[in-house]
Structure 1
Amino acid sequence: MEWTGARYADMPTVEVRAWIDAPPGRVWDIVADVTLMPAMSDELQSVHWLDGADRPAVGARFVGRSRHQSLGEWETTSHIIECADPRVLAWAVEDASRPSAVWRFRLAPKDGGTELSEWMQMGPGRSGLSFAIDAMPDKEQKIVFVRMREFERNMTATLGHIKKLAEA
């Protein structure tokens, strides 16, 4: 992965992929329903749309509540920045112009099913992890590495859940 030895300012990324024995439209229906994501995550506790939105569209916003053993509980507002049914869905966390993270799902037809990837980029805006780095600047690379490994594990589990739902 691209984040070995990375610092937060490097905006490290991680991506995981899965092949799903279902058409892109079926997979999209699951991916685009971000309110399903808490059931697929140990960290994400709840998601709700803002401003009367009930599905993704560029500019739509949703709030996610998360909990982590080491980082505590927090809430973020995400902004849909890319939405092309059934190919790509992406959102920026907190500040759309300088997000604390960007998340992106990509779907592509492959071998009679769908190749689904989930990608995320840390930064460039500050996040909860920034406070840990501020407190222990000499441990920044380790803090980033551990968090990116957590993201990779959680994303792999999420794609496994999406695969199971889409193939059911």
Structure 2
Amino acid sequence: MARTMGGEVSVRMDAPPSRVWALVSDVTRIGEFSPETFEAKWTRGSTGPEVGASFKGHVKRNGVGPTYWSLCRVTKCEPERLFEFSVGADGVDINNWGYRLEPDGDGTLVTEYFRLEPKWYLRGYWLLLGALRGRTNERGMRTTLERMKTVLEAD
């Protein structure tokens, strides 16, 4: 994973893509699931998932700090299939996060992923800290997906 400047984790959930989609595309619920992002809210007049919609996430790095707000913009939005957003300042994207949904029998295979932008300074960061950060992100994605699975399968 270190060479790709990203990573992904997949978990099968006993819920149809429509229910999974409603959960992963509602950024206001991420605080229930993520070990790092404890709240998020739509901004700049956005009220829901669509390409170009803006939101910000309140992050506690590594679950301990520092704490900061991340600006995000939805970049891909295909209901019941794909939800992706970029993180960074206006015009300066740092990384991308997303969820891919694939029907799997009566359930859904859900893949959460992240991918850093291929910029020189991020390549340097990844070279030095990529393996460590990649493992942290993958643990966090697995935690997020397992928590979502618990909620979806309890209904």
**After TM superposition, which residue ranges in structure 1, 4 or more long, deviate above 6 angstroms?**
none
The reply on whether 1:146 has 2:132 as its aligned counterpart is: yes
Residue pair 2:36, 2:60 contacting (<8 A) in 1 also: yes
The reply on whether 1:116 has 2:110 as its aligned counterpart is: yes
Matching residue's letter, 1:109? P
- Measure, in 1, the Cα distance between the counterparts of 2:37 and 2:15: 25
- Measure, in 2, the Cα distance between the counterparts of 1:34 and 1:152: 19
The reply on whether 1:57 has 2:43 as its aligned counterpart is: no
- Measure, in 1, the Cα distance between the counterparts of 2:8 and 2:83: 14
Counterpart in the other structure of 1:17: 10
Counterpart in the other structure of 1:72: 66
Counterpart in the other structure of 1:43: 36
Give the counterpart of 2:147 among 161, 165, 168.
Answer: 161
- Measure, in 1, the Cα distance between the counterparts of 2:88 and 2:129: 21
Relative to structure 1, is the Cα distance of residues 57 and 125 closer, same or farther in structure 2, using a 3 angstrom cutoff?
farther
The number of aligned residues is 152
| CA RMSD, Structure 1 to Structure 2 (Å) | 2.3
* Matched position secondary structure for 2:93: coil
- Measure, in 2, the Cα distance between the counterparts of 1:97 and 1:21: 38
Counterpart in the other structure of 2:81: 87
How far is 1:126 from its partner?
8.6
Measured against aligned partners, the alpha-carbon deviations of 1:115-135 in whole angstroms (never above 9, x if no partner) come to 1000101233599xx6x95xx
Unaligned runs of 5+ in 2: none
What TM-score do you get using the length of structure 1 for normalisation? 0.81
What TM-score do you get using the length of structure 2 for normalisation? 0.87
Residue pair 1:82, 1:90 contacting (<8 A) in 2 also: yes
How far is 1:68 from its partner?
2.2
Percent of aligned positions that are identical: 29
Unaligned runs of 5+ in 1: 134-139
Relative to structure 1, is the Cα distance of residues 25 and 126 closer, same or farther in structure 2, using a 3 angstrom cutoff?
farther
Matching residue's letter, 1:86? E
How far is 1:152 from its partner?
0.2
* Matched position secondary structure for 2:96: strand
Residue pair 1:99, 1:124 contacting (<8 A) in 2 also: no
Higher relative strand content: 2
Matching residue's letter, 2:109? E
